[in-house]
Structure 1
Amino acid sequence: MKLLYTFLLLCFIHTAIAQQAPPVHKKNYTTRALGNTPPPVIDGSLTDEAWNIVEWTGDFIENLPDENTPPIEQTKFKVIYDNEFIYFGFRCYDKNPKEIVKRLSRRDGFEGDWIEVNISSHNDKLTAFSFSGSVAGVKSDGFISENGTTWEGNWNPIWYLKTHIDEEGWTAEFKIPLSELRFSNTPDQVWGLQATRRYFRTEERSLWQRIPLDAPGWVSEFGELRGIKGIVPQKEIDVRPFLLSKMETYPTESGNPFKPGRNYNLNAGVDAKVGVTNDLTLNLTLNPDFGQVEADPATIALDGFQVFYPEQRPFFIESRNIFNYTFSDSQDNLFYSRRIGRNPQGWVNPGDHSFVSMPDNTAILGAAKFSGKTKSGWSIGVLESVTNREYAKVEESGQKKQVLVEPLTNYFVGRVQKDFNNRNSYLGGMITSTMRNIEASNLDFLHTSALTSGLDFMHNWKNRKYFFRGNIIMSYVEGGKQAILATQQSMTHLFQRVDAQNVSINPERTSLTGTGGKLEIGKAGVGNWRYKGSLTWLSPELELNDIGFLRQTNDIRQQLVVSYQTLKPFSQFRKIEVYLDQLSNSDFDRNLNKMQFTIGLDAVLKNNWTTSLMTVYKPINYSITVLQGGPRFRYSEELFKSISFTSDSRRKLRFNGAVYSNRGKNNSLSYNEFNLGVVYQPVNAFTFSVKPAYAINKNKLQYVTQTRVTEATSYITANLEQHTLSAAIRFDCNINPDLTIQYYGQPFISQGKYSSFGKVINPTAYHYGDRISLFNDLQLNADELQKSYSIDEDANGTTDYTVQNPNFSFAQFRSNLVVRWEYIPGSEFYLVWSQGITANGSPGNNLFDELNTQLLNGKTENIFLLKMTYRLTKHIRHKQ
């Protein structure tokens, strides 16, 4: 530790006295309005008279792999505009036009040769709109935020692209509606501008505005676009009605009125977007279809914690950067949009002669979102959503009834952030609210209200070379005694821990108030070295999971990271980065629970292969959650190692693979995972990939359950051997840039077998064998018929308690076949076929036999969807 802190101090001293990097000349380009000149016809040829009213700009400079050197081929472009659109014309020179690579892909595919333009229309040094066009005519677009560290690729604006190959290389024309950008009504506009070209054959990137590899950011280093005068911001009214037809087929269950084998459903709704100003947008949705095309990957969580899944619904993805409020180094966030429309939280315990039909998710009656960023640097986001009551249908002995399983709920999120100090600093805040109408006693475990608030800030200095940022959060939840007791006992909090000193269960409480936050300081750019240090705290009472995501509280985390990266190719390498990471975790009882050291290397070879190596050593490793309310438990020292590689992405046949290995001292636990991916693109319009993975998890002290014997609680563990096999299968067939066929499938099977059961007797003993006492044959008796174990701890012939056999064999197959046709810009037709199989088999069988039995011979559930959207757009100019 002393060596590490000394090393970090030397890094700070070195960079503090080091000279600043020489300034990079900022380019600027002056455009002109078309005036009375007819606009260009977008055909990719650049032959229209309109292009002659402005001069070319070019002199691109290489960025990767050899920064600040002349590129293999030069590029130049022109920019013109009128009251409705801004136009870009690119000339990409190529001495061998026949070798230009035209690879088709779905939108945002970034395949083959392409050209990209980034427009920071607020010139705020933080955010930009990105538009890319491949030589095959495929459009890619996204929104850049946080000075280039965040990319929102699901933003799909309406714009127009055409390309053309000739004897000099290839050309491209972009036609971008001004309504898709955000800018002020300043008479003389100055926008940030960057253009990037990918030269596919050598995987070279060249830029219009040079950005050194050690620059502290991306958007902040753009050149400038000048000459835009007199344009009027426009209000955009965008209405997208949709019609959805859905049919489900599944195995019929005899006697079950809710499983007749087939269901039909017809649904309609509307999404709307209104430009309140050119900076701020109001999104509305009524009776929305929030189904996602691609299924979430299958997983099994043996630790009891919830699983984080990324958002894939367009309504919540748009402007997500404004609503983002991460506050730790994990996925913890004040706003986790998948809480809205979640699976119902209530349940029904069916009787012996009853049938139950549970809704798949909670219906969203309506949602509205007001968001945007003003020229003066204000980022504003307000989201309001109401979800409906959901009822489970129950039939018992011929009698039908409904049971409330999700109450009427209102969700609110408010976010604001202000840039200042020449965009080098910001200060922001966020509040969220969840209000529920609890109408049934079976839902008393839910909070009636939940409020959270946060304050965040960041400051950069010395031309963004150094940074200091932080955030503070607070939560307040309220409900009945049952609800607050459930919160105290949940995996996130575990107030019932028998050795906890800072917290304890209070069954009379009706509210909880908690805090958290993070402070971080470091060096972000200039030179080969980077470093940062951070401190994060999450109080035991902090609760965010009504509308946010929070995995575990009662945590104080300290982290130091130092990295070194090369700035020029050398030997067989394009680039190498080496990093050292030190991490420690404590709880609010001042127990040091983890000390972890990581050293890693990421390298890009000159043949365009990449590789990563990483080693993690944990000399101190305790858990306050593994016994789920039991005492703090010690894990043996662990050593984790991984290696991964990716072959040249330009090849028709390419590979990637990874090996992960973790081992505890004295073989107390081990984890090994093997991944291999193969991607084959026999023709430019078709791509097939398969990525199988196989994992073996062994833990001699796997937690099973707990049970009370007289006044004491016994914590039962066992030796677990778990095997997991999965594969991600995809193919993309691209008829043209607007008509694509995509398939995704994932078979998944996981099998776990438990043996050598025991009881925890000394949870913090140094040797793992001393932490438990194994049951002998007189104490443990298996009941195969009941699938349980009878345990007689004192071996007096009387069973003290019974434990269900925890062995499992879980299999699942999920697939989606999607035909997407954008028949006119912004309007789409979808044909979707989703198929699923979920089964539980026999853990005693071979893993591959179970795969055949459960999946290949399983009963399938099918969903067929026909969805059609039509986009109606109108622009209204602001008055000057």
Structure 2
Amino acid sequence: MKFFTAGCIFLLLLGSQCGIAQDKAVIEKKVYTTKALGDIESPVIDGLINEKSWDIVDWTGDYIENQPDENTPPSEQTKFKIIYDKKFLYFAFRCYDKDPKGIVKRLSRRDGFEGDWVEFNIDSYNDKRTGFSFTVSASGVKGDEFISDNGNNWDSSWNPIWYMKTNIDEQGWTAEVKIPFSQLKFGNSKEQIWGLQSTRRYFRAEERSVWQRVPQDAPGWVSEFGELRGLIDLEPQKQLEIQPFVVTQLKTYPKEPGNPFRDGQDFKINGGLDAKVGITNDLTLDLTINPDFGQVEADPAAIALDGFQIFFEEKRPFFVENKNIFDYRFADGQDNLFYSRRIGRSPQAYPATENVEFADVPDNTTILGAAKFSGKTKNGWSLGILESVTNEAFAEIDNNGSRRKEMVEPTTNYLVSRVQKDFNNRNSYIGGIFTATNRNLHGNELDFLHKEAYSAGIDFKHNWNDRKYYMTGSVVASHVGGSKEAITNTQRKLTHLFQRVDAKHVFVDENETSLTGTGGKIEAGKGSVGNWRYYGLLLWRSPELELNDVGFLRQADEIRQYGVVTYQTLKPFKVFRKIFTRLEQLSFHDFDGNFNRMQYTMTSNWNYKNNWNTNFQLQYKSRRFTNSMLQGGPRYRFSEDVFGYANFNSDSRKKFRYYAGMYVSQEREKSGFYTEVDAGITYQPINAFTFSLSPNYVRNGSKTQYVTQTRFGNDPRYITANLDQRTLSMSVRLDYNINPNLTIQYYGQPFISRGRYNAFNKIVNPTAKSYKDRINVFNPNQIAFNAAADVYNVDENAYGSADYNIQNPDFSFVQYRSNLVLRWEYIPGSEIFLVWSQGIDGSANPQANLFRGLDSQILDQKPENIFLIKATYRFVL
């Protein structure tokens, strides 16, 4: 608690240094009135603002600095004009610069946001929560994002078709932009009133200036926009886009003698169709037939010793686009009612084979088709419906030339529907979600799967006192049904653990054919005005809550409480541009009334005037119990723990930049520890080329690492051991931008994680305060290693014969992933990809050092190669 008290004193002193909170000033909303071109010829998009069409409207400017010194004159001024015709909205920007030669024109892929740029945001729904963002860099690179949650979420996966050009002259640089109305969503009012904002990045000073002033203590971003008026009688643009694609793929790998399914190479060609249909001007139907859900970049390597599932980000284009509409994070972390990577997942069954048999199991289930209907109406209704069907999957099994098929995944239908309604002058909303997963199960071979799974939720948010205060919350419910085997398996999974031997509130019922649970949260606090903000949060997940058919749920049976206070400076002072500090108190309970955790955290970020950053955190866990560590065994106590980290980033504008950090944890009595060293360098010798290298080293240790459970006579035995785990990885990236539409990227990551176990022991008193009282370490007369069988024989009663065996848990997992991608957007919205992907998975000798393990499994092994060509063409009709 000492550091927590010191942190509070630090914040109070900082507050006296930087000024006390002030009431929110009344800021005049800017208004820009555009005009229609009528019979006037539309401007040519060449970056030169010299057409007569621009003369029908006035310039607007008077940008004000937003970062670092809010509400002061910027280093350089900016101005813009807006005009429109029946199909397009046009912007012209004049970015003044006294030293045009100093304008930074760094190249990157789309959404790279490098160098000098100017951006404009359009809230065409005028809902003060969502918007469309378009960014133009001085080098001619596009950026586009969908803004949601009042600026707390910027989704760069949105890739509309639009046009722009830039030009540098003696006054600075200029840009012209043309945006099809079909790429925006809006109502059908006679006069449209849209939210409008523009931001300029002046790279040399790392300065942001804005058209409409947004104070640093504002409640959000979109809610603070100015207004765009003058859009009269816009014609509904019923968008129709068709994008066929074709993919050819050659896969090579080491030939496996005797296995007819691993002959050294596979070739396939595939094609499909994506379509986008504007039902109305604000509601869109997305369709896909035989979609290509391949990923250009592989998932990062990871290994979880606690047994819980690992969350991976979605990268498939159909699901990534507009994913915010379907997002429903009802609690904290990654828990969500919709986790799109469940659709098209790897088959959940594996065929039963004999020693002489070989099996060919699909990597993923086939998605027959998918459709999304989404948008937002002028009345404040946000709608989203997603429907997808995956085909049944079969493994082909070969027995000396005789072949049979065995089902490993049934035909499955997924439905996700989402709705929200704004009210109270856009200061509040209420929404709901419903998901359904239905499997067509045949016979008994896949009875371990749920036949149906449903979830539903209601969420809301209310802001008051000019968005100074807020309250938000959600309630969810789930229901899964299936065979007795399926529900029994669910009760026993690590997420639920109904079989816990000391649980009084849950038990495994092997006759159940369904399971129904609930969860949710309630949060309230101060969200704007002044240096200080705070909130309190209570959330829960009942023991029966189950979302993992089409959602993501790590662990049920939990009640959490948070108390959070934050402090941020609003003006630069001394050597600082900005300081942000957060104090947090957290506690966990379960539904049996057990008090499982108490934790205190202080986190701070310091941004300096030289554009360096330092971050640090100190965390004290005074109480640590877990229901899951012994995986069905009794509740277990970990020792008190102190965790801290410190890292820094150099100036991100420099062509040579770097970062480094260290993360350290230490448990009481040295019963466990964690040390991580993270570093990286980025070098950009020319504007078109960037190289980055990011090594990472982790050492993790525990004297009570769970290994397995067994029985000694009629008594259960929970076995733990002393673990020394070391993990080494290195991420390498190369980016070469021939021009804004033609880029080459390389990504590679060797990864090794090695774990060695010793000092095996049994749990004797799982909730004792001292770890030495929780365990009884086997002496040399009780345990011996059998190298031939790779097991430890345990003679617990020392009678001369083994009472039970422990499989040797030592491991050394090695993985290498790399991707070389050439991307060419030959016309807006149409692309060609050339991809070379390489991968290796292996197991090294756990007794070897990390570098020798990498050498034996990567340099000495033949990799799997994938050569892929993908071409798309986007028809806009």
Q: Secondary structure at the match of 1:343?
A: coil
Is 1:208 the counterpart of 2:211 in the alignment? yes
Q: Is the 8 A contact 2:47 2:167 kept in 1?
A: yes
What is the CA–CA distance in structure 1 between the aligned matches of 2:146 and 2:873, rounded to whole Å?
A: 23
| 1:374 counterpart (368, 377, 385) | 377
> Does the 8 Å contact 1:438/1:444 carry over to 2?
yes
Give the structure 1 partner of residue 763 of structure 2. Answer: 760
Q: Distance in 1 between matches of 2:399 and 2:670?
A: 52
The amino acid that maps onto 1:128 is G
- Aligned residue pairs: how many? 867
> What pairs with 1:693-842 in structure 2 (closer than 5 Å)?
693-842=696-845
- Alpha-carbon distance in 2 for matches of 1:421, 1:381: 22
Partners of 1:233 and 1:61 in 2: CA distance: 35
Report the Cα offset of residue 657 of structure 1.
1.6
Q: For 1:486 and 1:847, locate their aligned partners in 2 and report how far apart those are by CA, in whole Å.
A: 37
Q: Partners of 2:380 and 2:494 in 1: how far apart?
A: 40
Q: Contact between 1:241 and 1:269, CA under 8 Å: does it hold in 2?
A: yes
Which digits, 9 at most, give the CA deviation of each residue in 1:732-761, with x for residues without a partner? 100001100011111100100000000000
Question: Secondary structure of the residue that 1:849 maps to in structure 2?
Answer: helix
Deviation beyond 3 Å, 4+ runs, structure 1 = 1-4, 17-20
Asked if 1:644 corresponds to 2:661, the answer is no
Task: Check whether the contact 1:404–1:440 (CA below 8 A) recurs between aligned residues.
Answer: no
Residue matched to 1:217:
220
TM-superposed CA distance for 1:312, in Å, is 0.8
Aligned to 1:471: 474
Letter in 1 for 2:197: Q
Whether 2:847 is the aligned partner of 1:844: answer: yes
Name the CA distance, whole Å, in 1 between partners of 2:609 and 2:598: 37
CA distance in 1, matches of 2:422, 2:836: 46
CA distance in 1, matches of 2:199, 2:50: 23
1:594–1:620 contact (8 Å) kept in structure 2? yes
Q: CA deviation at 1:398?
A: 3.1
Q: 2:444 aligns with which of 433, 441, 444?
A: 441
Pick the aligned partner of 2:633 from 630, 637, 653: 630
Q: Is the 8 A contact 1:319 1:372 kept in 2?
A: no
Please show how residues 271-282 of structure 1 align to structure 2 within 5 Å: 271-282=274-285
Amino acid at match of 1:848: F
Q: Out of 558, 567, 571, which is 2:570 matched to?
A: 567
Q: Deviations over 1:15-65 (max 9, x none)?
A: xx9873111111001111111111110000101111111100000000000
Alignment of 1:126-275 (within 5 A): 126-275=129-278
1:33 partner amino acid: A
What is the DSSP-based 3-state SS (H/G/I as helix, E as strand, rest coil) of the residue aligned with 1:413?
strand
Distance in 2 (alpha carbons) for counterparts of 1:213 and 1:233: 37
Amino acid at match of 1:138: V
- Take 1:273 and 1:644, find their aligned partners in 2: how far apart are those partners? 45
Q: TM-score under structure 2 normalisation? A: 0.98
Matched, 1:42 2:45: yes
Q: State the SS of the aligned residue for 1:59.
A: coil
Q: CA deviation at 1:480?
A: 0.3
Instruction: Note the C-alpha offset of 1:237.
Output: 0.6
Work out which of the residue numbers 403, 409, 413 in structure 2 matches 1:410: 413
Q: Which runs of 5+ in 1 are unaligned?
A: 875-880
Could you tell me which of 299, 306, 310 is aligned with 1:307?
310
Alignment of 1:509-524 (within 5 A): 509-524=512-527
Q: Partner residue of 1:364? A: 367
For 1:814 and 1:839, how far apart are their aligned partners in 2? 12
1:397 to partner: Cα distance: 3.5
The residue type paired with residue 710 of structure 1 is G
Q: What is the match of residue 340 of structure 1?
A: 343
Once the two structures are superposed, the pairs formed by residues 545-694 of structure 1 within 5 Å of their partners are: 545-694=548-697
| Alignment equivalent of 2:392, drawn from 389, 393, 396 | 389
**Residue in 2 that maps onto 1:295:** 298
What TM-score, normalized to structure 1?
0.97
**How far has the Cα of 1:433 moved from its partner?**
0.3
User: Does the Cα contact within 8 Å between 2:21 and 2:529 map onto a contact in 1?
Assistant: no
Once the two structures are superposed, residues 129-173 of structure 1 have per-residue CA deviations (whole angstroms, 9 ceiling, x without a partner) of 000010000000000011001111011100001000000000011
The answer (yes or no) to whether the contact 1:407–1:436 under 8 Å persists in 2 is yes
1:68 corresponds to which residue? 71
2:875 matched residue in structure 1: 872
CA distance in 1, matches of 2:158, 2:331: 26
Residue 243 of structure 2 contacts residue 875 of structure 2 at CA under 8 Å; is this kept in 1? Answer: yes
Amino acid at match of 2:125: H
* TM-superposed deviation, 1:350: 2.7
Amino acid at match of 1:714: R
> 2:699·2:727 contact (CA, 8 Å) conserved in 1?
yes
Which letter does structure 1 place at the counterpart of 2:101?
Answer: K
Which residue does the alignment assign to 1:79? 82
Equivalent position amino acid for 1:86 in 2:
L
Aligned-partner residue type, residue 586 of structure 2: L
Contact preservation (8 Å) 1:130, 1:143: yes
Distance 1:674 1:173 in 2: 46
Deviation at 1:864, TM superposition (A): 0.6
Q: Which amino acid is the alignment partner of residue 93 of structure 1?
A: Y
- For residue 798 of structure 1, report the CA deviation from its aligned partner: 2.0
Offset at 1:768? 0.5
Gaps of 5+ in 2: none
- Whole-angstrom CA distance in 2 between matches of 1:860 and 1:204: 47
Taking the aligned partners of 1:536 and 1:790, their CA distance within structure 2 comes to 45
8 Å Cα contact 1:668/1:699 also seen in 2 = yes
| Paired residue secondary structure (1:182) | coil
- Quote how far apart the aligned CAs of 1:857 are: 1.2
What SS does the corresponding residue of 2:663 show, helix, strand or coil?
Answer: strand
CA deviations over 1:241-300 (Å, ceiling 9, x no partner): 001101100000111000000110010100011000111100000100001111000100
**1:600-623 alpha-carbon deviations (Å, 9 max, x no partner):** 111110000111110010010011
Provide the residue aligned with 2:536 in structure 1.
Answer: 533
Shift of 1:635: 0.3
User: Which digits, 9 at most, give the CA deviation of each residue in 1:383-418, with x for residues without a partner?
Assistant: 110000111111123321111000000000111100
User: d(CA) in 2 for partners of 1:762 and 1:576?
Assistant: 46
The one-letter amino acid of 2:473's match is G
Q: Is the 8 A contact 2:21 2:530 kept in 1?
A: no
Q: 1:540 aligns to what SS in structure 2?
A: coil
Letter in 2 for 1:94: D
Shift of 1:450: 0.3
Q: 1:19, 1:860 → 2: CA distance?
A: 62
Report the equivalent of 2:36.
33
1:853 equivalent in alignment to 2:856: yes
Q: CA–CA distance in 2 between the matches of 1:750 and 1:73?
A: 51
1:319 maps to 322
Contact 2:826–2:832 under 8 Å retained in 1: yes
Give the Cα separation in 2 of the matches to 1:600 and 1:482: 46
- What percent identity do the matched residue pairs reach? 60
The CA deviation at 1:357 is 1.2
Native 8 Å contact 1:818 1:830 kept in 2:
yes
Distance across 2 between alignment mates of 1:553 and 1:122: 38
SS of residue matched to 1:21: coil
